[in-house]
Amino acid sequence: MTESDFLTSAPPASAQQGADAAPYLVVEDLTVRFPTADGVVQAVTGLNYTLKQGKTLGIVGESGSGKSVSSMAIMGLHDPKRTDMSGSIRVGGREVIGLSNNQMQTLRGGEVAMIFQDPLTSLHPFYSIGDQIAEAYRAHNKVSKAQAKAKAVDMLDRVGIPQARNRVDDYPHQFSGGMRQRAMIAMSLSNDPKLLIADEPTTALDVTVQAQILDLLQELQRDFDSAIIIITHDLGVVAEMADEVLVMYAGRGVEHGPTRELLTHPEMPYTWGLLSSVPDVTASTESRLLPIPGNPPSLLNPPTGCPYHPRCAHRDKVPGDLCRTELPELIPGRRGPAHLKRCHLANPDMIYETEVLPEIAPDLVELVTEESLEDTSDPRHPGSPENADQIDTPQRRAPDPDGEVK
């Protein structure tokens, strides 16, 4: 999918039918803390989101912002002895926080499956690919080993491994990086999960392979009608895959909304930072790559007030010392109820258009400005996709902004 495709292509068929169905996944006020020798790591604090069948949520943020921790909580992958969890996670209507390990087993790999960042370390080096897929299948289906093996061949074929029958007995080290991730996907889809969590599925892969894997995920989502959570720090991936985006910072959601709306009208300075740190390979040379200065805060001792304030270039625009003293709520701004942001700024749109956009993508300023004028003249359709279709945003799949590439 090219960049302009994502803006022009029709929404997936499931988008309409799922519109009023109950969400498959509900995360409410999720808080995850790890008591350690150095203190309590506040990995995730008060996180909320919902996800419907057939939909994709993109979670973005620098590394250490709590993306993996919050998603692993859905599968109960945190050791209860070392983790304090509160809030609620309901999968298909069932509360999973507090479930015992045994009760969790039917969910894990069954209704909810996960793909991890590095397929090489995520596959067991001593067992063949086929055995590992068959094991996942047999964990949830009463079938013979031979049937499970046949299923493994089937799944490998399905995810595009050539000559699956011959490759099924290969070991992970005999596969290329992209093939290993395909095998991971085959494994996670072997039980037709209703929810697939892909934790940076392409970060460890090179660019062309990344595109193939993302295409594969989309294709499989259409076939299986699963909900997908795609975790990434690459806004290009989000633009291509996600219906909705949740931006996380220091363990909290800081901006949340429909993908096009959020990417074209970001309202939170941290999101601006993420956008400006995405290298745009096709845009004019005037556009600049601006990494966010400073480092993500320590979650042992997060900053007071807005967690982003130590790095925020716009905190002076907020009257008083509010940024430092008071945590902003994650609430709708001026762009309609679906777009939430956690920031004290009163007029983020204007700042974005006049200060941020000219820095990161000068050639876009005009378009966006025009559009936002339209928007204010027609408040009933805030950030409507029709308007967004005309503009080009500076997203692209590219090396990670925070250099987490292995």
Partner 1 sequence: MFGYILRRLVSGILVLVTVSAATFALFFYGPSDPALAYCPETRCTPERLAAISDQLGLDRPVVEQYGDYMKGIVAGDDFQAGAISIACDAPCLGVSFKLRLNVTDYLWGRFPATLSLAIGGAAIFLALGLTLGVSAARRRGTFSDKAIVSSSLVINAVPYYLLALLAYLYLISEWSIFPASGYYSPFSAGPYAWVKGMLLAWIMLGLVYSTQYARFSRGSMIESLNEDYVRTARAKGLSERRVTLKHALRAAIVPVVTIFGLDFALLLAGTIFTERIFSIQGIGLTALDAIGTKDLPIISATVILGATFIVVANILVDVVYSLVDPRVRL
Ligand X SMILES: Nc1ncnc2c1ncn2[C@@H]1O[C@H](COP(=O)(O)OP(=O)(O)O)[C@@H](O)[C@H]1O
By the 8 A CB rule, do 117 and 201 touch?
yes
With contacts defined by CB under 6 A, name the span among 49-57, 112-120, 340-348, 360-368 that binds ligand SF4: 340-348
Q: Does 126 bind partner 1 (CB under 8 A)?
A: yes
Pairwise CA distance, residues 343 & 308, whole Å: 9
Q: Which helix (H) or strand (E) holds 123?
A: none
Query: Which alpha helices (H) appear in 159-258, and where do they start and end?
Result: 164-167, 177-189, 207-224, 235-241
Among 7, 30, 129, 136, contact with partner 1 (rule: CB under 8 A): 136
HSE at residue 193, side-chain half, CA atoms within 13 A, is 29
Q: How far apart are CA 280 and CA 119, in angstroms?
A: 27
Residues 230-269 that bind ligand SF4 (CB under 6 A): 268-269
Give which of 392, 342, 387 is closest to 363, Cα–Cα.
392
Residue 269 interacts with, from partner 1, ligand SF4, Mg ion, none (CB under 5-8 Å by kind): ligand SF4
Binders of Mg ion among 43-82, rule CB under 5 A?
68
How far apart CA 33 and CA 320 sit, in angstroms, is: 31
* Interface mask toward ligand X for 60-79; x: CB under 6 A: -x-xxxxxxx----------
Binding mask 75-94 for partner 1 (x = CB under 8 A): x-x---xx------------
Q: Can you say whether the dihedral through the CA atoms of 203, 208, 212, 215 is positive or negative?
A: positive
68 binds, among partner 1, ligand SF4, Mg ion, none (CB under 5 to 8 A by kind): Mg ion
| 294 and 315 Cβ atoms separated by less than 8 Å | no
Structure tokens at 52: 């419907």
The single-letter code of the amino acid at 203 is: T
Among 40, 26, 43, smallest CA distance to 252 is for 43
Would you count residue 139 as binding partner 1 (CB under 8 A)? yes
- The verdict on 253 binding ligand X (CB under 6 A) reads no
Using CB under 6 A as the binding rule, the residues of this chain from 291 to 330 that contact ligand X are 299
Contacts with ligand X: how many residues (CB under 6 A)?
A: 13
By CB under 6 A, tell whether 180 contacts ligand SF4.
Answer: no
Query: Minimum CB separation from Mg ion for residue 230, in Å?
Result: 12
**Degrees, nearest 5: CA angle 176-178-183:** 90
How far from 78 is each of 11, 177, 256, CA to CA, in Å?
35, 27, 25
x/- mask, partner 1, residues 148-177, rule CB under 8 A, reads: -----------------------x-x----
Nearer to ligand SF4, 262 or 343 (CB): 343
The two beta strands, 244-249 and 252-258, are antiparallel
Under DSSP, the state recorded for 108 is B
Judged by CB under 6 A, the stretch of 35-43, 98-106, 128-136, 305-313 that binds ligand X is 35-43
Nearer CB in complex with ligand X: 60/213? 60
Stretch that binds partner 1, among 124-132, 232-240, 285-293, 300-308 (CB under 8 A): 124-132
Residues within the interface to partner 1 (CB under 8 A) = 75, 77, 81-82, 101-102, 105-110, 113-114, 116, 118, 121-126, 128, 135-136, 139-140, 171, 173, 184, 187
Residues within the interface to ligand X (CB under 6 A) = 34, 36, 41, 43, 61, 63-69, 299
Residues within the interface to ligand SF4 (CB under 6 A) = 268-269, 306, 308-309, 312, 314-315, 318, 323, 328, 343-345
